Amino acid sequence: MSSQAHGHTPAAWTGSAIVFVGFCVSGAAMIMASVPIFWAGVAVILIGGVVGKAMSMAGMGKTPDLAVAKVLAEARRGVTAKPEATEAVTATAAAH
């Protein structure tokens, strides 16, 4: 199964853009031999991860696949579905 929204969400784009800027700042700081600017770039990288996750949690990320969510919910309750279907969906969920 392929995901139709893999990386094509506002949360993914925003988080990736912020992290990219942080890597650029840190890379430039390494060339300039500036320790404070390097750590500022690292801080921007961490902020990018937090912003991306926050946006995803706010509903701007990929929505979970309903089939995967159903099988995982059944697994938590102890209800067993067809073994071959459970293995396939669990493997798909682990890949996401």
Among the listed ranges 15-19, 49-53, 86-90, which one has the minimum average pLDDT value? 86-90
Sorting pLDDT into bands at 50, 70 and 90, what band is 1? Answer: very low
Kindly report the pTM of this predicted structure.
Answer: 0.61
Closest CA to 85 of 74, 62, 77: 74
Closest CA to 75 of 93, 62, 63: 93
Residue 94 CA: distances (Å) to CA of 4, 14, 16, 88: 17, 24, 22, 10
- Residue 76 in tokens: 């938590």
How confident is the model over 53-75, as pLDDT tens digits? Answer: 999 888 887 776 666 667 777 77
- Residue 29 in tokens: 């700081």
- Residue 14 in tokens: 């925003």
